[in-house]
Structure 1
């Protein structure tokens, strides 16, 4: 069998950590290929080289074609790949994440499956959203009540700051056009935020479906984490966009969300907050998982036949 051509993939320790990477790169109507250990994007205007190891997520929009060589270098550099709709609004699928350890998923499952630990984690989420308040003894019903009142004040404050009229949050997930301008623009802004948060969660090896506050959907944990940042990212981006009287606020608000993600260093914060909420130490050595066999006594290495005598010895 012939040896693969091109530069060898980098060692895992040489890879850029998730917190230091470009959050995402969106591509459409181009061919994605590779040159050595770089990703190339080619269209009628020319070729752009992108260092693969600097990317967190490559988002492939309509009209893109990607080669096997490109996927090879992307996989070797631990870049997540997401297939999305135009401007990244719809999420279709994703490739293998940056994480090579199950510890995030195991910690998340332990929290979600334990009622007291799940409530404690939910309280920490609300403390992040509304700093300076005491949520230590509140039930989930009380937390939801507090949230509703505080979010109403957030919307009212943004309306007063920008002069954009606001009545209430009203939208239909199945009929985007049914809402008024402010609700449609807010929905688009939140969708952009969800996409970036989803990408980070997958890159870390956490499970998007295992929510703490939310449940019942494959993006429950995405909604949990995105809620931490709406008051400073998607909501003000929506009101600023509408105050600017843009001809196409739904399109413009996605750019506004992108700019706020950069300004607030959101990618780094999402990584840190997910680690904190799940109680997992951000340790590069621990991110490289070993394949083990579970037992009720201790985990043992795989790749060996463990008869009863050998195991008990």
Structure 2
């Protein structure tokens, strides 16, 4: 029988795994449409075809228009779509999860709902960011203090390496141009990393709002994941771009981030890191990667039973 989980469109086996996709594609001042299973970007210089199943996130910049058909194929492909401008990123739409299983989101909710396990995951995130430090036993306040010190040190180190003047992080929401070149580049790099993290979180079927470091926002977990790579990728690239000049900082930063994250296969690493944080004992072939539509019913004593069966006849399990 047909179930609520049944899909008649592309199956995950027919799609590119999220870890193997392009990190993101940025478009501006064009019309985005659909041609078969590709999206097209049309501007004054012609039409470009982009296979939708290879995109992690599509970033739509100023002057873009997108059709319903294009959004349809992006949704079928599990791609994230983010409208982005100089004032920052807002996540308005996304594709369906590539996983059929709810194992990861259930593990996330379980870890998040318990205060101790939530702190344990936060410590594990800190350890991923700064493997030379052991945060075991640290309180949340101590973690925040350590993280703040390490990020400040990173800014100072990159400023010294590149020779870019640095007077501290200055960012005015809604006013991208108010910052100097280094601050603009840091903001632009962060925007790209948020889009990448959103694509992976959505594709794995996790809950974007259940964060372990950030809280109170619909994208708290996305911010957590993006921050894992801030000092390794985002900040160094930002200072490299700022060192090259003050012109066109936003677009140059996006291109530099795109090239770097594809070079280091960041999407694949991001998938592994999320699974390691939420299901540390998971092995290859775990239900988190199931391709089949399997819907079960919860019963007593923690057991799940088959769906599509009428249990009014006194079935005992």
TM, length-normalised to structure 1: 0.85
Matched with 2:206 is 206
Whether contact under 8 Å (2:171, 2:183) holds in the other structure is: yes
- CA shift in 2, pair 1:11/1:109, >3 Å: closer
Matched with 2:310 is 305
Q: How many Å apart are 1:67 and its aligned residue?
A: 4.6
Q: How many Å apart are 1:52 and its aligned residue?
A: 3.3
Q: Deviations over 1:42-74 (max 9, x none)?
A: 444444333333333344444323253x55544
Matched with 1:233 is 233
Matched with 2:3 is none
- CA shift in 2, pair 1:203/1:210, >3 Å: same
Q: Hey, what's the Cα distance between the residues in 2 that align with 1:184 and 1:80? A: 27
More displaced, 49-58 or 144-153? 49-58
Structure 2 unmatched runs, 5+: 1-7
Q: Residue 138 of structure 2 aligns to a residue in which SS?
A: coil
Q: Hey, what's the Cα distance between the residues in 2 that align with 1:266 and 1:181? A: 25
Q: How many Å apart are 1:83 and its aligned residue?
A: 4.3
- CA shift in 2, pair 1:185/1:151, >3 Å: same
Q: Hey, what's the Cα distance between the residues in 2 that align with 1:220 and 1:292? A: 29
Q: Residue 85 of structure 1 aligns to a residue in which SS?
A: strand
Q: Hey, what's the Cα distance between the residues in 1 that align with 2:214 and 2:41? A: 38
Q: How many Å apart are 1:130 and its aligned residue?
A: 0.8
- CA shift in 2, pair 1:151/1:52, >3 Å: closer
Whether contact under 8 Å (1:88, 1:192) holds in the other structure is: no
Matched with 1:21 is 21
What CA RMSD, in Å, does the superposition of the two structures yield over aligned residues? Answer: 2.7
Matched with 1:66 is 67
Q: Are positions 1:293 and 2:297 aligned together? A: yes
Matched with 2:219 is 219
Higher relative contact order at CA 8 Å, sep ≥6: structure 1 or structure 2?
Answer: 2
- CA shift in 2, pair 1:135/1:31, >3 Å: closer
1:49-198 alignment runs, 5 A limit: 49-61=49-61, 62-68=63-69, 70-71=70-71, 73-76=73-76, 78-86=77-85, 89-99=88-98, 100-173=100-173, 175-198=175-198
Q: Hey, what's the Cα distance between the residues in 1 that align with 2:11 and 2:289? A: 13
More displaced, 91-100 or 17-26? 91-100
Q: Hey, what's the Cα distance between the residues in 1 that align with 2:59 and 2:85? A: 10
Whether contact under 8 Å (1:246, 1:252) holds in the other structure is: no
Q: How many Å apart are 1:163 and its aligned residue?
A: 1.0
Q: Hey, what's the Cα distance between the residues in 1 that align with 2:187 and 2:26? A: 20
Q: Hey, what's the Cα distance between the residues in 1 that align with 2:190 and 2:110? A: 28
Matched with 1:3 is none
Q: How many Å apart are 1:135 and its aligned residue?
A: 1.5
Whether contact under 8 Å (2:197, 2:226) holds in the other structure is: yes
Q: Residue 96 of structure 2 aligns to a residue in which SS?
A: coil
TM, length-normalised to structure 2: 0.84
More displaced, 250-259 or 56-65? 56-65
Q: How many Å apart are 1:124 and its aligned residue?
A: 0.9
Q: Hey, what's the Cα distance between the residues in 1 that align with 2:27 and 2:245? A: 28
- CA shift in 2, pair 1:294/1:194, >3 Å: same
- CA shift in 2, pair 1:213/1:202, >3 Å: same
Structure 1 unmatched runs, 5+: 1-7
Q: Residue 208 of structure 1 aligns to a residue in which SS?
A: coil
Q: How many Å apart are 1:41 and its aligned residue?
A: 3.8
Q: Residue 90 of structure 1 aligns to a residue in which SS?
A: strand
Q: Hey, what's the Cα distance between the residues in 2 that align with 1:184 and 1:46? A: 30
- CA shift in 2, pair 1:289/1:118, >3 Å: farther
